[in-house]
Homo-oligomer: A and B are copies of this chain.
């Protein structure tokens, strides 16, 4: 049923009340009162928007655009909190997005407000009465039509269909294999945390945190990353050593750019090493883990940029930036991967209060990149060599590069003074993996850019400990959404194909009335662990059954026929070669197993194939 009986009766009662109220309003309006009461209308819209995201249906429509345009500019939002929500949401759409909105027909009441028209009570009553009749009709027949709607997922989110899931699971499996090869254990945390846990950890970005509604409980927010929950987990359980990976979705109310893999709900794949260890030993392993992952994903050439927060601090200090501006200057430098130096320089001077002279000195340094020779050179630099923090950073980088050489990944690493990373909590080495070639998708090249990042954060766990006890940590996060979006684009362009089910054998019948025979054979094959499927129809057509096998890449079909069964035989068909062999019914499982084994060996290169 589309509704439970109880629900339906309640709805019919409510709808009846509404019709009665409208009739009363019509009467009183006929007695000379003005029917167009702007305040009343706004309350009506406000009430509607307390229950619905949009004026009409599940998506923003032209009706929303129109109302948004026509609403007074100086509307008192304190009186209309739900209009406020909607208004700011509508503000967030660009003109080009708005042109794509469908034309939805709002209900008459809201429609009249938008048109600035007098209420047409007759029309309204007519409309509501017809709804009432529709509801009553539902009581009798269970398939009365509900109102029209276009469906969508929330802004910045998406479903994963089976092909996308196959790609996603393949990528994640490769990543997990690397994490496990390095002995990482797996943990998970709730999707939401007490709001206080997240407060004060993300600087300016805190405004992007999703909060849960106050429904009479704790104050909760959706997790923004996996790093702060890890720190909370370590402090809460008083854990001093942990090498863990965590693969889960995180939530940011950011401006989505979905085609480029930027969502409001997205996966993070984090690998972190917590514990008091010798300098740069775990840090170098994090870099090795990134190279192993990027190599196994086979998505082109890349470079791992490294830098050190202590070096950045020392550099800012010697350039004449005051200590309280280190972090904000840092987040400006971080924009160098997207903006030219001139723009970054202007922002430093105009928005961050750095002097032009200091900015120019910074500009000299941030253009430098190289290998350990550069670190050696900077250790001789007149100013940096006198700065304790800078020397500490440079010595750290040198040791890290040395360990990377031992790990055989020296040629992948670039010491880059322009790398800064946005987040506040890093305290030591920072790194970022960047693809250096555009990726070919169909006939187009797509630039992907940053694909992994991380660094050392030695003071975050202490923020959660009652005695401020620190657990030093270093970690890396793989930007899998970008990898997914590249592979999905390749799939769409026909560059790769995926199989979304693993079925090896399809049990088909050539004649009618073989359902029960098929069922018995299926049960036998499933029982033997063979991945098997059949049609759920009693009498499927042979052509449809074979077509299903071809469309879904099922390699083998068992074909039942009356004459063969009488002789104790069944046919096995190879879907690709179309060759059919008769074999004894009793040997079926054995025969299929050996054929599948041969096929599996041929397909060892995995389910993603050219």
A residues engaging B (CB < 8 A)?
1-7, 9, 51-54, 58, 81-82, 84-85, 88-89, 92, 142-146, 148-155, 157-162, 165-166, 168-169, 180-197, 200, 203, 210-220, 222, 232-233, 235-237, 244, 249, 251, 253, 265, 273, 275, 277-278, 281-282, 284-285, 288, 292, 323-328, 403, 406-408, 424-425, 427, 459, 462-464, 466-468, 470, 500-503, 515-516, 519-520, 522-523, 526-527, 529-533, 536-538
Are B187 and A165 neighbours in the complex by a CB distance under 8 Å? yes
Question: Across the interface, do B53 and A195 meet the contact criterion of CB distance under 8 Å?
Answer: yes
Contact B503 A183 (CB under 8 A): yes
Separation in Å of the A196 CB from the closest CB of chain B?
6
With A143-B459, A145-B468 known, 12 other A-B pairs at CB within 8 A are A6-B327, A7-B424, A58-B197, A84-B216, A85-B217, A89-B218, A153-B236, A162-B187, A182-B531, A191-B249, A210-B212, A406-B520
Q: In whole angstroms, how far apart are the Cα atoms of A162 and B183 in the complex?
A: 12
Among B157, B180, B253, the residue within 8 A (CB) of A215 is B253
A281 touches B536 (CB 8 A): yes
Write 7 A-B pairs (CB below 8 A) sorted by A numbering: A6-B203, A51-B219, A54-B218, A157-B192, A182-B532, A288-B523, A288-B526
* Interface-centre pick from A153, A273, A532 (highest chain B CB count, 10 A): A153
Min C-beta distance of A426 to chain B, whole Å: 10
What is the bound-complex CA distance between A406 and B522, given in angstroms? Answer: 10
- The list of the 6 closest CB pairs from A to B, nearest first, reads A162-B185, A277-B536, A88-B216, A157-B190, A151-B236, A211-B213
* B536-A278 in contact (CB<8A): yes
Chain B residues with CB under 8 A of A186: 162, 165-166, 169, 500
Chain B hits for A470, CB < 8 A: 143
Query: Are A146 and B463 in contact, CB atoms less than 8 angstroms apart?
Result: yes
Contact B190 A7 (CB under 8 A): no
A217 to B533, CA, bound (A): 44
- How far apart sit A49 and B394, CA to CA, in the bound complex (Å)? 47
- Chain B residues, Cβ within 8 Å of A427: 1
- How far apart are A218's CB and chain B's nearest CB, in angstroms? 4
Q: Is there contact, CB below 8 Å, between A155 and B214?
A: no
Q: Which residue of B lies closest to A220 (CB)?
A: B154
Q: Is B188 in contact with A165, judged by CB distance below 8 angstroms?
A: yes
Closest residue on chain B to residue A506 by CB atoms: B183
Interface centre among A6, A237, A407, A502 (most CB of B within 10 A): A6
Q: For the complex, what is the distance from the CA of A6 to the CA of B328, rounded to whole Å? A: 8
Least Cβ–Cβ distance between A592 and chain B, in angstroms? 13
Cα of A214 to Cα of B214 in the assembled complex, Å: 10
Docked-complex contact B162 and A244, CB < 8 angstroms: yes
Contact A183 B464 (CB under 8 A): no
Kindly list chain B residues whose C-beta atoms are within 8 Å of the C-beta of A2: 459, 462-463, 468
- Across the interface, name the chain B residue whose C-beta is closest to A524: B408
Closest residue of chain B to A539 (Cβ to Cβ) is B278
> Chain B contacts of A529 at CB under 8 A?
181
B residues less than 8 Å from A148 (CB atoms) = 466
Our pick among B82, B166, B265, B281 for the contact of A515 (Cβ within 8 Å) is: B281
Cα-based distance from A470 to B141 in the complex (angstroms): 14
Which listed residue (B3, B53, B288) contacts A196, Cβ 8 A? B53
Report the Cα distance A251→B191, complex, angstroms: 10
Instruction: State the CA gap A601–B404 with chains docked (Å).
Output: 35
**A282→B537 CA distance, assembly (Å):** 9
**With A194-B154, A408-B527 as contacts: A214 and B85 at CB distance below 8 Å:** yes
Bound form: Cα–Cα A233–B236 in Å: 39
* A213 → B minimal CB distance (Å): 4
**Taking A53-B219, A154-B218, A233-B159 as contacts, is the C-beta distance between A533 and B183 under 8 angstroms?**
yes
Which chain B residue lies CB-closest to A292? Answer: B526
- Given A53-B195, A162-B244, A217-B155, decide whether A273 and B142 contact each other with a Cβ distance below 8 A: no
Give complex CA distance A4, B211 in Å: 23
A467 to B150, CA, bound (A): 11
Nearest CB in chain B: distance from A570 CB, A: 17
Contact between A406 and B188, CB atoms less than 8 A apart: no
Within the assembled complex, what's the spacing in Å between the Cα atoms of A293 and B162?
22
Q: How far is the CB of A237 from chain B (nearest CB, A)?
A: 8
Contact yes or no, B158 A501, CB < 8 A: no
